[in-house]
Amino acid sequence: MTAKNPIAQLSRAELVSLSNDIRLACMRISRRVRFESDRELPPHQFSVLCRLEATARTNSELADIERVSAPSMKRTTNMLVERGYVSRADDPTDGRQVILALTPEGRKALKRIRRHRDEWMLSRFEQLTDEERELLQRAAAVLAKVASE
């Protein structure tokens, strides 16, 4: 006879409480990584740089992806252009559109910010015990599964 896993026997109320705890912890980590690891760019500007990393896009495409209004996205991209992180070019197929692309300085900024974020997380992980890190390693796979569904 094998012992039953007490986690598998959670009541609905306990499962709701656990899901709330995990969601809040993930949100707090995400917020701390964004705001404490780098002061260079606000999160919404960093997100736009990430969206431009693989391919150039229009303001409309970026607004749709980021789920913000077109005027809001235009303000964001204007700031990124002013900082030299994004360039503008006329769309060769539609004169009304402007194509936005990452500049070399924008790519450097992305790399720098990601490095700061990784260093912030690493500093936290270094404070954990081997057992806690092992648990997080297993939990990462579970959380990835939850996020993909």
Q: Answer whether residue 59 is part of any domain.
A: yes
How much is the average pLDDT of 112-131?
A: 93
Domain total in the chain: 1
C-alpha 129/C-alpha 21 separation (Å) is 21
Amino acid at 16: V
Query: Could you give the dihedral angle defined by the CA atoms of residues 129, 131, 133 and 136, in that order, rounded to the nearest 10 degrees?
Result: -140
Q: Answer whether residue 41 is part of any domain.
A: yes
* Residue at token pair 């004169």: 95
Give the model confidence (pLDDT) of 33-90 as tens digits: 887 766 788 888 999 999 999 999 999 999 999 999 999 999 999 999 999 999 999 9
Residue 72: which CATH number? Answer: 1.10.10.10
Residue 141 has pLDDT above 80, yes or no: yes
Give the model confidence (pLDDT) of 101-111 as tens digits: 999 999 999 99
Residue 64, domain extent = 12-148
- Name the nearest CA neighbour of 110 among 48, 63, 27: 48
What per-residue confidence (pLDDT) applies to 87? Answer: 98
Share of the chain above pLDDT 90, in %: 70
- Name the nearest CA neighbour of 65 among 18, 33, 38, 100: 100
Least confident range of 27-36, 78-87, 127-136: 27-36
Residue 2 has pLDDT above 50, yes or no: no
- 3 state DSSP class of 107: helix
Q: Answer whether residue 7 is part of any domain.
A: no
